[in-house]
Structure 1
Amino acid sequence: MWEPILTLSEMPCTSEAHDHSRVFHGIPPPTFDLPLLDTPDIITANVQKLIEQTPNPRHSFIFKVLVMHLHQFVNETRLTTDELKATINFFTRTRQNSSQEISLLSSVLGVSALVAMLNNPVTGGATDHSPLGPFFKFAEDTADVDFGESIASEGKGDYMYVEGRILTTEGQPIPNAIIYTWETDANGFYDIEYADRSQIDCRGRLRSDDNGKFGYRAVVPAPYAIYGDGLVGELLRLLGRHNMRPSHIHMMSLKDIVDDEEARKRGFPRGGSFKLLQYDIVLLTEEQSAVMCARVEKERGIITGGGKY
């Protein structure tokens, strides 16, 4: 059995506390020889050879492809030592700053949208998918809303009415489907962002009727900026990119908590300035299923104007 040259207790120590994660994990070095690093291609080939030892075939495949493209990137860009140091520092600070920064970074680089699309291909006219996002709350923090009732309390913005149907890809209605919906208020904030939040607001859970129909009152959501004071905001400024999300409403439909079919819709008011893909920082597609957006008389819940947008 191969043993490390130095045990943790024998390693040189400083006045700082030991990092107890620095211990030998029991995997010995490879039994094969690797050529000396005389050329860039040998470096890549050596790493690929080491990855072949990976027990899980899927993991081996993923990391071999990752290394191949990562090394191609370094070669093509002729990455400098200073640029590498800056990149490592960026990721280090991202990890220290917040776990949400990593998720946000994945979104603004289009990775989250790409993974969602590849893993949820749209077939048979189904509703387009969309990454879930950080502001969704399941049953423990979502109120039940009856057909036609409001998910928003008074004073949260201009009212509108949202309606639709939950259908199979063959066009048959899906009764009693659960619809989760959530949105920002007129100020561009979700309820869970308020420090003094006292109630569930601008979000709800309802069910489709026997014809697959659902309807509820909401408020016209506002476009909003993602957090710009973190490292992702720093990256966006470096790249000369804006940090805005367009006005949108989230929806997710579940049937008996088994069907993983999403019915997410995003509503845009007439004349809204965020209707095109280039205006969405997380690179999600524009709304494919139009949502009726109209003023609603608060007393009677009657649509008084508007149309499909």
Structure 2
Amino acid sequence: MASKLVASPETQAFLDKVAGLDQPGTGEDRTKRIVRRIIGDLFATIDEFDVSEDEFWHALNFMASAAPEFGLFAAGLGFEHFLDMRMDAADAEAGIEGGTPRTIEGPLYVKGAPRSKGFARLDDGADDGEVLIMHGRVVDKDGKPVAGAIVDVWHANTLGNYSYFDKTQSEFNLRRQIETDEEGRYKFRSIVPSGYAVPKGGTTEALLDLVGRHGNRPAHVHFFVSASGYRHLTTQINIDGDPYLHDDFAYATRDDLIPPIERKADPAAIHAEGLNTPFTEIAFDFTLITAGEAEEAEASSRSRVALAA
């Protein structure tokens, strides 16, 4: 409940002015109402917790310095997961069921990764991590294959670092796009990734420290899966057994996105993959939902790094 000061006619009229609600016919009404709600809630927070002038400017200075890590803020403060919760709730309300569960994108995608048909090798061979073979199909809700779907995959190396953001890695290392074959199949060879933590000494870590939380993510592999006429799917799978599997600072873990992990050591399996060492295998199918509107087939409009392959 708003304080006496915030609820006063004087402050309420002031909020109307700040948000432009006293100027009908100008600007965008929805934007005005959103701005008024946000500022009014912040006014109420300042008053309720007796935030001092110095505390206010300290917080604003902190947010200014945090700008490079806003993508981590969106994940770590639960905004990305809450957006997924809202979309899940809307689907449930509309009776839309099935499909691979969505989960957060995170801030480390790079557009323009090389594309191949059916199979791709993601790693450049510089990391001696355990080989990962992942394969499966892209299908519709009836289990029919979706040929020509694009499986856009990216993940961290064994140090928890992503290419482009980690300048020691080659361009597009551990990033590829794979077009499914006539049976909807995709397959890739890579390395088993490690989880990561938010940057040491950064603003995300500082904020999480203040609220008594860690900034660790379990090992995972990100995916965009898209095909004409189907909803764009943003999701990721987790590597089972990771100590942070159900304690992800970004709240991205979902039970249906923890596929079984098989470690293959028999010579026949090793030879069949053209390898000379044991490897980890993950089989996982993606199920797409038919798009109801054209915009559902597109990724969100968040800002992303774009490079040419």
Give the TM bin, normalised by the shorter chain: 0.7 to 0.9
Aligned match for 1:265, one of 211, 233, 236: 236
Counterpart residue number, 1:126 = 99
Distance in structure 2 (CA, Å) of the matches to 1:193 and 1:86:
29
Shift of 1:56: 0.6
1:89-141: per-residue Cα shift (whole Å, max 9, x none)? Answer: 322333xxxx32233223221123323443575531222223333321222xx
Counterpart residue number, 1:41 = 7
Larger Rg: 1
Kept after mapping to 1: 8 A contact 2:198/2:216: yes
Please tell me whether residue 109 in structure 1 is matched to residue 77 in structure 2. yes
1:1-309 superposed matches below 5 A = 39-42=5-8, 43-50=10-17, 51=19, 52=21, 53=23, 55-94=27-66, 99-119=67-87, 121-122=90-91, 123-139=96-112, 142-156=113-127, 157-256=129-228, 259-262=230-233, 264-269=235-240, 271-276=241-246, 279-286=247-254, 288-295=256-263, 299-301=271-273
Kept after mapping to 2: 8 A contact 1:164/1:213: yes
Letter in 2 for 1:144: R
Distance in structure 1 (CA, Å) of the matches to 2:282 and 2:179:
24
- Return 5+ residue gaps in structure 1 as ranges: 1-37
Q: Please, what TM-score do these two structures have when normalized by structure 2? A: 0.73
What stretches of structure 1 move > 6 A for 4+ residues in a row? Answer: 302-309
Shift of 1:221: 1.0
Letter in 2 for 1:104: L
Q: % of aligned pairs identical?
A: 21
Distance in structure 2 (CA, Å) of the matches to 1:73 and 1:171:
50
Letter in 1 for 2:97: G
Query: What SS class does the counterpart of residue 222 from structure 2 fall into?
Result: strand
Shift of 1:73: 2.4
Counterpart residue number, 1:31 = none
Distance in structure 2 (CA, Å) of the matches to 1:164 and 1:40:
56
Kept after mapping to 1: 8 A contact 2:102/2:235: yes
Letter in 1 for 2:233: E
Paired residue total: 262
Greater relative contact order (CA < 8 Å, ≥ 6 in sequence): 2
Distance in structure 1 (CA, Å) of the matches to 2:101 and 2:175:
21
1:54-75: per-residue Cα shift (whole Å, max 9, x none)? Answer: 5212102211221332233234
Query: What SS class does the counterpart of residue 249 from structure 2 fall into?
Result: coil
Letter in 1 for 2:159: N
Distance in structure 2 (CA, Å) of the matches to 1:207 and 1:79:
54
Query: What SS class does the counterpart of residue 272 from structure 2 fall into?
Result: coil
Query: What SS class does the counterpart of residue 253 from structure 1 fall into?
Result: strand
Letter in 2 for 1:107: A
Shift of 1:242: 1.0
Kept after mapping to 2: 8 A contact 1:223/1:248: yes
